[in-house]
Amino acid sequence: MFSKFHNIEKEKQDRIINAAIKEFAQKGYDKASTNEIVKEAGISKGLLFHYFQNKKQLYFFLYEHMIDILMEKIMEEVDWDEKDIFIRYRQMALLKLDLFKVYPELFNFVKTIYSETSSEVKGDLDLRGKELLEESLLKLFSDIDLSKFKKGIDVQKAIRIINWTVEGFGFQQQKKVVQLSLDVEEIVINEAIAELEEYLDILRDVLYE
């Protein structure tokens, strides 16, 4: 369906994607302007609608494309022989930071999916499942070593707590980088990972034997 878009050079694809997810993430669906998107992307409005029929189609392309990119990277690069959930989450955090270099507004955009109320897209979002990303990530932990958790702990709830902590930390780091207009260099990534490990160590002490 989107062959015309996929056939253009990746640099141009990323420029359009970044402009669009930034606009949707910052303003929500209804207030997002295709005029602002094309201005940011440096293309004509006619060219945007050459790739996508309308704003709604663009929005859902971004929704599915971003989740596909994230899940594909996770499936390809995570060490699935590692059964410790905290080590696996650390690996995923590193992968997400790599994606953040390419798509700075990616996680803000995904976050807005959960709170989007526009009547034009809400029905389709509900049908496609707002919880798709969270459920997909939880499935990635179906083979973890449960014996490490303290007896009596609800493991599924524990995983959700870990997930909320990691996701919340990720949003916080993204907001800091955007507000301070920082480049996502290795030093920024290393500092973020070091801080994340402190939170994971606290959770590990609470949840593990």
Q: Tens digits of per-residue pLDDT, 170-187? A: 777 766 665 555 555 556
Residue 3 banded pLDDT, cuts 50, 70, 90: confident
Per-residue buried b or exposed e for 133-157, using 16+ beta carbons within 10 Å of the residue's own CB: bbeebeebbeebeeeebeeeeeeee
CA angle, 187 as apex, 70 and 11 as ends, to 5°?
45
Residue 131 pLDDT exceeds 90: no
CA angle (117, 159, 122) in 5-degree steps: 10
Please, which residues have CB within 8 angstroms of residue 180's CB and are 6 or more apart in sequence? none
Mean pLDDT of the chain: 85
CATH 3.40.50.970 fits 3-207, yes or no: no
Q: CB-based contacts of 51: which residues, under 8 Å, 6+ apart?
A: 2, 4, 5, 8, 16
* pTM, to two decimals: 0.77
CA pair distance 23, 57, nearest whole angstrom: 15
- CB-side exposure of 181: number of CA atoms within 13 Å? 0
